[in-house]
Structure 1
Amino acid sequence: MPSLCCKSKGHDNFASSTATNQYAPNTVIEPVHLDISLKFGNLKEETMHGKVTLTFCHSGRALIGKDERSTVVLNAEQFEDLQVLGEGVTHTYDGHHIQLFWSTPFEQSSRREVTITYKVEEPIAGLYFQKADSMIGASPLWAITDHETEKARYWLPTVDFPAVRTTLTWAITAPEEYTSLANGSFVSQETKDGLTTTCWELKHLCPSYLICFAVGEFVSVDDGEVDGRPIKYFAAKGYEPADLKRAFDKTPAMMQWLQNKIGVSFPWPKYYQIALPAVGGAMENISLVTWCDTFIQDETNSLERKYLTDLVNIHEMGHTYFGDLLVIRHFEHAWLKESWASYIESCWLEDNVSVDHFRHEMLENAHSYFSECQRYMRPIVTRKYDSSWDLFDMHTYPGGAWRIHMLRKRLGDEAFWCGVNQYVKEFSGKTVQTTDFQTCLERASGLNLTRFFDEWVYSKGYPKIKAQYEYSKTDNRVKFVLTQTQVDEANNIPLFATDIEIEFTDDQNHVYTTRVTFDRDASVTTFINLNDKASPQSLRIDPDGKVLFSLELAADQDILINMAKNASDVVSRITAYTELIKKGSRPLLKTIREAIQIEPFYGVRVAAANELAKLNSTLSLQILAEMLDNEKDPMAMASIADACKIRDDLMRSAILRFLERPSLPYRAHGAALMALGYQRNPEDLEYLLRVAQDDGAIGQHGIVRSGALKALGYHRSQEAFNYLNNRVGSEIGLEPMRARPQGIRALQHSAEWQEDRLKKLAVESIAQSIRSPHPIVRMHAVGALASLKATSVCNAIASTRHMYPHDDHSWLNRQLKRLQDSSPVSEGLRADKDKIEKLEDRVKKLEEQLADWMKK
């Protein structure tokens, strides 16, 4: 699955009609070093006093006009008490930009210093202070930065774009009870009059979005060293060190593996990781990686969460080379860091877990990308966007990771990793763009990759392949016809030039292979002649997983059954189960029932469960209920329980049995509660309310409570609605950083099924959170109100624009457009939904009666 540092887009078009091409800034005069001095008092005051000395130099090899050599614009949002000092420099400040003017233009190689002093109070982004209600059961004080993509400007005067990189020195002064961390190597620490000044130094060039510091009351874990580089983990006081260590314990082994994989020594002087509530997902800041504290895990949480945490851990570490050591020139090249970090996740699985896990991860990546493509398609590299944040989507993360994987398979491992090694070495400490990566791979392999990059990187879409299988018993020959159906030149969706291998097995266990080459034609045919007296048995299309495509496979059911039972790779087995379940016949489902019980890989079972839920027939639900009863793997339990969100008596009985299990993992517990809420059975309401109010059943990070709240939203009863409305509308009772966002969404789901009077009450309750100091609460509230088509609060939401950083404005604009284009949900629409569900219930009952009749 994609890393959690990805931000969901939640819209149907990538760029608005007003989006324009965006470009990296000029760097004639640029800062090359920042000397940062910060002072904090009591962190409750949410105030920072800053003094930053910027060293500027002329970056060009030759001089250009005087104007370009006499001025620089710095990003600086909402600074107070601003003063600028420097020889021969004047400035203007409009609350967003500090424009510096020198009376004498810069000459080549000349350097000048400018010192800026200022105060920041309650910044809206970039620098986050602990809120009194940020954590469950603890309230330590802390402050931390989180910048991507353009948020450093809310506390630091800088050129806030990746093309500009500086070295750093730090002096952080704070009350002596606090710990201060920052990028780079520890230099010194001195305490005087109750204040401690901690100094750090980073000698590597660092873009603004990777600059990071943290101050506060922390617990820490020392995890030794790798090649002399200290490794430590930090979290807010109140967390158990054992839980912190459990989350990140593979870090040393990952560092050893990664530098061996890339062939370049780890460049940073230390590798610290810190987990705090204000961080969104995880962020790869140089030598000080930040995490959301929900990744900290106790033993129960670890059963479900450790796998993902390890992937995010190696993802962020992968940025050491792809994004930190090699910095993208501008945001259109974001895939050179995020796609690479995502692919490093899969490579870690391949080398350290299993090929099955690697193939399954790549399949999940493909599905995430395909799902987004149903809403919008864009080239992997594009300059046309509304906000730089918009580029951090499923095209960039899993979609781009697949492009890198295909390049690896096209070049072969030796040439590919040789090219990567040279790419990292050649551009170490520099900025990169897509052509740099292409050139290094071409140089290592001798291949011309222009067509690949034209089609896969600079065009939209991916191959959608329809595969037809035919067997002629007379000729004892198999015929395959593969067709790309996605071609749409008007929308820049090309025919993709690629080779796809086909592997076929007969009943004598002879294996035949052939290759289909797409070049200029959308449809390609190939034949396989079988040995005498041999019959078709099984097939695999792209058996080694070399190419990204979606597949519609028309094959005989016996072939599919053998694939499901015997294919050696998880992708072929998932493909077979998907096609078999779509057919939906009773004999096939009975075969699936037997086969799925002995399927060894959890991901195949989860995929089958999801397809059985989609089929939604009597027998498919019986099999799904049995799967829930039998599942023991924590990696699969939550997903299979989630698939059971179907209103059916059989499902309800299975879910209740599942909830009776002792010591359920948290996510499995929460998913089962939500599935129970879907049943809308009045008898379950008391139980769901009891779980939602049970402080002994919160689950680490509120996971179980969140599931109970969502379950009440799905229940649709007025009593559940009243409870949710009271909880969301109350000033106390729901932790803002944990359960409150889920409570808001639960209330939204419930309100959609209530009469207009109650829906208006829900809108009023949710609207109280649009000015929450917690960004995650604010954004959930706005999203819920947009889903409820609450046009009455459109102006109120618009008035909160000042609370959002500018790189989130495109998201807010989309929510406002949803509201402006909508009308309230009418009783008629709600009645239509009820009619559809009642019709589905009637169809299912008729199917059950028919099945009973056939048994007689």
Structure 2
Amino acid sequence: MRNIFWVLVVFSSFIFQGFSQTLSEYRGERDKVFNLEHTKLKVDFNFEKQTMNGEAWITATPHFYSSNELELDAKAMLIHKITLNNADLKYKYDGFKLKISLPKSYVRDEKLTVYIKYTAQPERVKQKGSKAITSAKGLYFINPKGEDEDKPTQIWTQGETEASSCWFPTIDTPNQKTSQEIYITVPKKYKTLSNGKLENQTENSNGTRTDYWNFTQKHAPYLFFMGVGEYEVIEDSYKNIPVNYYVEKEYAPYAEKIFGHTPEMLAFFSKITGIEYPWDKYSQIVGRDYVSGAMENTTAVIHGEQAYQTPGQLIDQNVQEITIAHEAFHHWFGDLVTTESWSNLTVNESFANYSEYLWLEYKYGKDEAEAHLFEDIQGYKSGDNFDKHLVRFYYEDKEDMFDAVSYNKGGAILHMLRNYVGDKAFFESLNKYLVDNKYGTGEAHQLRLAFETVTGKDLNWFFNQWYFGEGHPKLDISYDYNDLRKTVTVNIYQTQDKEFQFPLAIDIFEKNKVKRHTVFVKGKETSFTFPYASQPKLIQINADGVLLCDVNENKILSDFIYQLKNVKNYRHKREALLEVAKSQHVDNKAFNAMADVLNDPFYKLRILALQNINLINKYSKRKVIEKIKQIAANDPKTLVQATAIETLGKLTEPELKPIFEKALKSPSYSVVGNALVSLYYIDKKLAYTKSKELSEGVRKVIATPLTRIYLEENDESELTFIAGNVITGMFLSQDKSTKKLYTKAYEKITKSNNSKAIQNLVNDIVVKGKKFEQYGFNNVGIELMRNMVQTQKSANKPNEQKNIAIIKEALTRLLK
């Protein structure tokens, strides 16, 4: 599962009230009374009622102790019949647990197969979702009656954490493993996808077709998957293994551009783990209204519709690529070896998170990987996460485990472990963990033992502080120079309550050379003395950026300028650039240092420099402006071109008009969007005219710059278009100016007479309110619409009563 943590961060500012670990209930591995052996299902669907007719054959054996009762998880189902060897069985069912009385006491390793006829009713499921997985009803009907002409009819499932038991009876816990076979009956026009191989398809006389999917290997129940819809299937392969992409027809021409690195990912991950991809196929499907980022269902990964991108977006960046890598690596960590309990979720998710770094490092280089790791660490630090353990046996709800600690911090800890033991030992240890536990379950202790066996090192200290402890080092740094002895002493003081021990890289820069010292820090206060030949120009703490920590030290502008010019690590260059930017308007050396970064080989640093360079007194900075003009026209990265155009646009120079006009012909949507806004402040009429000539597909992608133009133009006719993006812009954007823009748009629509715009806005509020209900965003939506009613009453517009009725109807839908 890959989650979108920025959602958590954005909403936390006005929804979350913090997290407490002062809970008394221990959350361990679920007891094994019976072990699942095999699951056979036959299903068909009632689209009108949004229910599923099911038959299940559950084969199980007692784990150790004999038992005369089989308890299954089965949520909100109608149970019609339960038999064993064609004999009816008695059972008790409370809507959550199905307790089946067996005719005798079964002993260890004695198999039994119970048959259950049932109806799954996902709309009656009571359990709630989480920060990461916004719903937990297991089975989802999308536009089942075809009433929304802009949305296809689809069915898909989402099992993690324990929602598979919403659509078939099972023992719904990650420490169970079962093989499976599923017969799925659907109208002939639909394609289906499930785990394993499509063995055969049978045409039925009533206009339906039954697809038989067979999965002979064993995996956890939460990894079961069904997908149904009108899909195009784009075929690819890795060696002799089918690799297929299920997409809507509109996106079929772009499927290979979106998913095409998948075979290379499977090859790369096979190589570094030392285990060939262990399953019989690898399919990916895109589901509308999906409740998270993506999910690693074994051999049948589902992605949210953000995966859909067109060439104008893909030329900038495939935003789904790291998610594709994340879910692929789960097929080793999560699917092949599965966490034994949600408390140990990090043995699934930290590895999938770190696979993003590994893929980026392999495919695009260390800078790209380091930038991604930095962003992940910021995601961890920006939440209420400092006091949470990586492995947590005490939590309020299992869904709480899906956070930036299990994912982001876990990935950063693996990076530190890799650095400590070395690449060869790291990957050999991963191989041992996977081989020893394949098709089974694992926990952090087994991971530690694998590393200790391979390396010969005792790693209790590492796991105790990083896996079973909380927080990270917060370091105050000071320096003592001895000019007579030509030594510098680096003083390190840990300010956090808990004491950490860790290796630390320290770079000492002298004139044109740099020397790295790797030390091991123990104790609250530690000092290390190093010789030098000439007075150091800079001392860089955590020089390789590996240690997860906060560093506080006193540096002056000249230090940061030197750091910006000489360090290699992305995060240290980034830190220096932002500090230097604060002084560039008063210090020419600072400005020149900023300008130099425009030539940096790493595009994200070029973007950061363009975003922060100060072009006030532009006539004295013509040389730099000429450089930015060249970047706008020729930079190999379109995202850099787009940022350069945005930077030039702030100058509002008529002479730049040809640059912006030319940029409107770019294949990159980001370039086109920024060019339109930049052109608007030079030639409003032309920019406005050009905006109206764009296709609907382009308009959707560059909605924010268009909104900026249409609001300034006071274009009432475009409020309907703007309305569909307001809630995302107000609440899901991390950019302050975007939030401000869409807040203005919300206020304008609320006061308007445009009933279509109001309808679009409240529809989106209802969708987002239900999707993010666990954040309390339904209450935010209710408040927004109540304010809209009051604003309409005071606006005194002709459509006032009609608009109020539209808002109240939506309010009723959200309150249900």
Same fold (TM over 0.5): yes
Residue identity opposite 2:181 in structure 1: T
Name 1:362's counterpart in structure 2.
373
Name 1:601's counterpart in structure 2.
602
Name 1:526's counterpart in structure 2.
528
- Choose from 779, 782, 786 the match for 2:778: 782
Q: Name the SS for the 1:482 alignment partner.
A: strand
Contact 2:660 2:678 in 1 (8 A): no
Contact 2:325 2:355 in 1 (8 A): yes
Q: Distance in 1 between matches of 2:652 and 2:147?
A: 39
Q: Name the SS for the 2:476 alignment partner.
A: strand
Contact 2:730 2:740 in 1 (8 A): no
Deviation at 1:757, TM superposition (A): 7.8
Deviation at 1:269, TM superposition (A): 0.7
* Partner deviation per Cα, 1:706-758 (whole Å, 9 max, x = no partner): 5544x489x6x8957x77876688xxxx4999999989988972378789989
Change (3 A) 1:161 1:745: farther
Residue identity opposite 2:436 in structure 1: E
Q: Name the SS for the 1:417 alignment partner.
A: helix
Name 2:58's counterpart in structure 1.
54
Residue identity opposite 1:174 in structure 2: V
- Choose from 149, 153, 172 the match for 2:184: 172
Pair 1:459 & 2:453 matched: no
Pair 1:201 & 2:203 matched: no
Q: Distance in 2 between matches of 1:499 and 1:655?
A: 54
Residue identity opposite 1:222 in structure 2: E
Q: Distance in 1 between matches of 2:778 and 2:616?
A: 37
Contact 2:82 2:88 in 1 (8 A): no
Deviation at 1:634, TM superposition (A): 4.0
Residue identity opposite 1:668 in structure 2: S
Q: Name the SS for the 2:323 alignment partner.
A: helix
Contact 2:660 2:675 in 1 (8 A): no
Q: Distance in 2 between matches of 1:783 and 1:687?
A: 39
Deviation at 1:426, TM superposition (A): 0.5
- Choose from 246, 271, 282 the match for 2:294: 282
Q: Distance in 1 between matches of 2:50 and 2:668?
A: 34
Residue identity opposite 1:301 in structure 2: Q
Pair 1:31 & 2:44 matched: no
Pair 1:321 & 2:332 matched: yes
Contact 1:676 1:684 in 2 (8 A): no
Contact 2:182 2:214 in 1 (8 A): yes
Q: Distance in 2 between matches of 1:421 and 1:409?
A: 17
Name 1:750's counterpart in structure 2.
744
Residue identity opposite 2:358 in structure 1: C
Contact 1:670 1:703 in 2 (8 A): no
Q: Name the SS for the 1:555 alignment partner.
A: coil
1:6-85 equivalence runs, <5 A:
8-9=7-8, 10-11=11-12, 12-13=16-17, 15=19, 21-40=26-45, 46-60=50-64, 62-63=65-66, 69-77=68-76, 79-80=77-78, 82-85=80-83
Q: Distance in 1 between matches of 2:726 and 2:210?
A: 33
**RMSD (Å), alpha carbons:** 4.7
- Choose from 439, 444, 456 the match for 1:434: 444
Q: Distance in 1 between matches of 2:540 and 2:443?
A: 37
Change (3 A) 1:336 1:109: same
1:565-604 equivalence runs, <5 A:
565-582=565-582, 585-604=586-605
Q: Name the SS for the 2:663 alignment partner.
A: coil
Contact 1:772 1:778 in 2 (8 A): no
Q: Name the SS for the 2:382 alignment partner.
A: helix
Deviation at 1:99, TM superposition (A): 2.9
Name 2:800's counterpart in structure 1.
none
Name 2:542's counterpart in structure 1.
542
Deviation at 1:627, TM superposition (A): 8.7
Deviation at 1:387, TM superposition (A): 3.4
Residue identity opposite 1:398 in structure 2: N
Change (3 A) 1:4 1:75: same
Q: Distance in 1 between matches of 2:90 and 2:526?
A: 68
Contact 1:163 1:328 in 2 (8 A): yes
Contact 2:782 2:814 in 1 (8 A): no
Deviation at 1:339, TM superposition (A): 0.9
Q: Distance in 2 between matches of 1:93 and 1:742?
A: 41
1:127-146 equivalence runs, <5 A:
127-131=139-143, 140-146=152-158
* Partner deviation per Cα, 1:128-175 (whole Å, 9 max, x = no partner): 233289999975543222232233233222233212221101111222
Q: Name the SS for the 1:698 alignment partner.
A: helix
Change (3 A) 1:458 1:622: farther
- The count of residues paired between Structure 1 and Structure 2 equals 766
The alignment's TM-score, normalised by the length of structure 2, stands at: 0.80
Residue identity opposite 1:528 in structure 2: F
* Partner deviation per Cα, 1:397-435 (whole Å, 9 max, x = no partner): 221101111111111222222221110000101111111
Name 2:198's counterpart in structure 1.
186
Change (3 A) 1:238 1:577: closer
Pair 1:397 & 2:407 matched: yes
Q: Name the SS for the 2:528 alignment partner.
A: strand
Q: Distance in 2 between matches of 1:231 and 1:640?
A: 36
Query: Which moves more between the two structures, 198-207 or 564-573?
Result: 564-573
How much identity, in percent, do the aligned residues show? 20
Name 1:299's counterpart in structure 2.
311
Contact 2:768 2:778 in 1 (8 A): no
Unmatched 5+ stretches in structure 1: 489-493, 804-856
Contact 2:474 2:551 in 1 (8 A): yes
Residue identity opposite 1:249 in structure 2: G
Contact 1:14 1:385 in 2 (8 A): no
Contact 1:55 1:114 in 2 (8 A): yes
Name 2:134's counterpart in structure 1.
none
Deviation at 1:342, TM superposition (A): 1.2
Name 1:97's counterpart in structure 2.
97
Pair 1:505 & 2:517 matched: no
Contact 2:153 2:229 in 1 (8 A): yes
Residue identity opposite 2:316 in structure 1: E
Deviation at 1:768, TM superposition (A): 5.3
Q: Distance in 1 between matches of 2:35 and 2:179?
A: 12
Q: Distance in 2 between matches of 1:662 and 1:779?
A: 42
Deviation at 1:651, TM superposition (A): 11
Contact 1:132 1:139 in 2 (8 A): no
Residue identity opposite 1:52 in structure 2: A
Name 2:801's counterpart in structure 1.
none
Q: Distance in 1 between matches of 2:409 and 2:561?
A: 30
Q: Distance in 2 between matches of 1:422 and 1:750?
A: 57
* Partner deviation per Cα, 1:753-780 (whole Å, 9 max, x = no partner): 7899899x99998665565499548789
Pair 1:699 & 2:698 matched: yes
